Amino acid sequence: MLSKSEIQFFRNLRDRKTRQEHKLFMAEGEKLVEDLIDSGLKVRDILFTSKYEGRLKLHATAREIKEPEMERITAFKTPSPICAVFEFTEAAEKSSFIPQDEWILALDGISDPGNLGTLLRSAEWFGIFKVVCSADTVDIYNPKCVQASMGSVGRVKTLYTDLSAYLQSIPGFVPILGADMVGQDIYSTHLPSTGILVLGSEGKGLSPDVSKKIKTWISIPRNHKGSRPESLNVAIAGSILISQLCSKQKA
C-alpha cells in the first residue's frame, strides 16, 4: 500500500519540473521496464498489482500495490499492471557529440513526445546512438516519449543545448544536412557516409538560426503525384532519412 505522499510523488513525475528536480522518471509496462533494467539503468521502485505475474516481482525494489493506486499514478488511460521509477542516464559530454565516422541526429523544436520517442527508437535501430536536442524540444523522459521509444531512451545518448551554437561549433568539414520539402531528392543525390542530420517540427520547420547552419538540404519525394498529404509526420520522415543515410554508411 502506498502512502498519500508517495502517490502524489509518483503522480508528479508526469511533470518535467519534478523529473528534473529529482532526476527520476517513470516507465510503464513489463517489456519496457525489463528493457530499461537490462540496459543498465538504475531502478528505484518497481510497483505492480495482483494482475502481474512476471519475474520482476522478485526484484529487491518491487512491491505490490492495489489497482486503484496504480490507476492514480499512471500517465495513461489504461494502466499497466507494472511500472517502475528509474534514475536519469548519466549526462552526456558535449565534446563527445562531434561526429567520428558516425551519424548524429539533431532535433530542433520537436514538441510531440510520441514523435521524439519514435525518432529515438528509429535512431537506435539504424545505428545512431547520439541525439542533440534544442532546448525547446520536448523532454525525453516525458511518459509518452519513454513509451514510444521502447527502451531506446535508456540507450541513446542525448544532449540538450543551444542547437544553433552547437552546429556553429562543428568543424567545417563535417556535413550538416537539413530536411526540407524543397531539398535534394534523397534517393538520387550523393549522400555522405557521416555527418549530422537536422530535423525540425512539422509546423514550424527549422528555426532561422539553425537553418543558416545547414550545408545541404534533402527531401523525400512523393512516389505518386496524386497523393494528398501535404507532408510526412516528422517521425516517419526522420525514420526514412535515417535509414537512407545509415545504409550509405554501410555501403
Q: What is the DSSP string of 93-123?
A: PGGGGS-SSSEEEEEES---HHHHHHHHHHH
Asked whether residue 67 falls in the same domain as residue 124, the answer is: no
Asked whether residue 41 falls in the same domain as residue 107, the answer is: no
pTM listed for this prediction: 0.93
SS3 8: helix
Asked whether residue 135 falls in the same domain as residue 75, the answer is: no
CA distance 175 to 118: 24
Residues 48, 64: contact at Cβ < 8 Å? yes
Question: Going by DSSP bridges, is the β-strand pair 130-134/157-161 parallel, antiparallel, or unpaired?
Answer: parallel
State the first-to-last Cα distance of the chain, in angstroms, to the nearest integer: 56
SS3 185: strand
Contacts of 88 (CB under 8 A, 6+ apart): 23, 24, 25, 141
- C-alpha distances in angstroms, 52 versus 1, 33, 48, 58, 187? 16, 13, 6, 12, 47
Asked whether residue 192 falls in the same domain as residue 122, the answer is: yes
Q: What is the pLDDT of residues 15-29, one digit of tens each?
A: 999 999 999 999 999
Domain that holds residue 43: 4-87
Domain count, the chain: 2
Q: What is the pLDDT of residues 190-248, one digit of tens each?
A: 999 999 999 998 788 999 999 999 999 999 998 766 666 667 899 999 999 999 999 86
Last residue within a domain, chosen from 42, 70, 87: 87
Q: What is the pLDDT of residues 124-183, one digit of tens each?
A: 999 999 999 999 999 999 999 999 999 999 999 999 999 999 999 999 999 999 999 889
Residues 45, 70: contact at Cβ < 8 Å? no
